[in-house]
Amino acid sequence: MSDLDNSPAQTRPVRAALTYWPMSLAVSMVLLFLGVYAGHSRAPVYTSEVRLAVGGQGLSSYAIPGFALAAQELAANYARYVSLPQDTQILKTALGAHAAEVVALSASPVPTSNVVSIVAQSKDREIANKAATAAGTALINAVNGQTNDQIAAGLLKQYNTLSASVAQANLTLQDATQIVAKLTATPSATASQLAAAQQAEVAASTAYASLQLQQSVLGTRYQTTATTDTPSSDLSVVQPAAIILSNATKNEELFGLIGLASGFALALAFATLRARRASRRQRVREVDRQPVPEVRVPSTLYVPKVGRPKVGTRPATADKVGGRSGETVRR
């Protein structure tokens, strides 16, 4: 094996890359741009967040002794109710066939606060928002009973219905009173007619008084409920669903970094191969430039004819070749 078949040991990748820096830079930039494009072409994952608060947001909740610490513990407990496996049916009800597009669903308490953060992730921003909203609504329904506002609205509806009944009972009582007064003023009215009219008046008066009492009680309940805060253990929405994060930029950065690293490694390999080829070519040229040694053949070389030796004689020795004994042949 000749020296030209050996790789030049002095060719180092980094030195070769610096020597051929335009090629190294071009290869690295090409793969960097390809990596960024690959990251940009990937569908991003959107993260939507809903925030729920434990208890009311007024000062009356914080007036309860130990409310701040208890609310933090409740927030941590409520956060355990939310997860993708537990809320699969809720997502199917809210999203239908698109429920499979939700890639993550979780909840966690916001440190040192009474707030629960519910996070949903999907490649579709609209589905991410709907999933977070559905999970938050399900948690509120599971934790809360009816809020005071909902109870007050129901009481008001009952009060309005009862008020119409009270008004009708009042009209009935007025009619019965007029009939009794008319029969009393009529000389031809019999005692049985007057007694029946009076009984009708008493029944109408009793019904009217009963409805009035129910109306008064219902009104009191409505006023008490409407002016009382929601129970301190209930949940309420403090931040509707909104997109807070997208990994589109993260994908571009990650794939761009991978492309740049791959391009630098490929540039080192190309530069090393190119440097070795250049080194071999240079060594070939150096060998070609070296002079070829001349071989001279003497023209006075004399080789005697040596015949068959006679019996009892010795053959001619090498020291007598070319003439005198002991003379060497010059080349």
- How far apart (Å, rounded) are the C-alpha atoms in residues 81 and 165? 46
Q: Assess whether pLDDT exceeds 50 at residue 328.
A: no
**Contact by Cβ (8 Å): 55, 233:** yes
Question: What are the beta bridge partners of residue 239?
Answer: 51
Q: Assess whether pLDDT exceeds 50 at residue 331.
A: no
User: What is the dotted CATH code of the domain comprising 46-144+233-246?
Assistant: 3.30.70.1130
pLDDT bin (cut points 50, 70, 90) of residue 2 is very low
Q: Which tens digits make up the pLDDT trace of 25-53?
A: 888 888 888 887 777 667 788 899 999 98
Alpha-carbon separation of residue 96 from 83, 118, 134, 138 (angstroms): 18, 20, 12, 16
- The pLDDT of 64-85, averaged and rounded, is 82
What DSSP letter does each residue of 231-269 carry, written as one string? PTT-EEEEEEEEEEEE-HHHHHHHHHHHHHHHHHHHHHH
What is the domain partition of the chain in residue ranges? Answer: 24-42+248-284, 46-144+233-246, 148-226
Q: What pLDDT is recorded for position 48? A: 92
Q: What pLDDT is recorded for position 31? A: 83
**Contact by Cβ (8 Å): 210, 39:** no
Above pLDDT 90, what percent of the chain? 21
Question: What are the beta bridge partners of residue 83?
Answer: 106
The residues, ordered by sequence, that sit 6+ positions from 186 with a Cβ below 8 Å of its Cβ are: none
Q: Which tens digits make up the pLDDT trace of 111-153?
A: 988 899 999 999 888 999 999 999 999 998 888 766 677 778 8
- The pLDDT of 91-96, averaged and rounded, is 90
Question: What are the beta bridge partners of residue 53?
Answer: 115, 236
Q: Which tens digits make up the pLDDT trace of 238-297?
A: 899 998 887 667 767 777 788 888 888 888 888 888 888 888 887 777 776 776 666 565
- How far apart (Å, rounded) are the C-alpha atoms in residues 176 and 171? 9
Q: Assess whether pLDDT exceeds 60 at residue 309.
A: no
Q: What pLDDT is recorded for position 310? A: 54
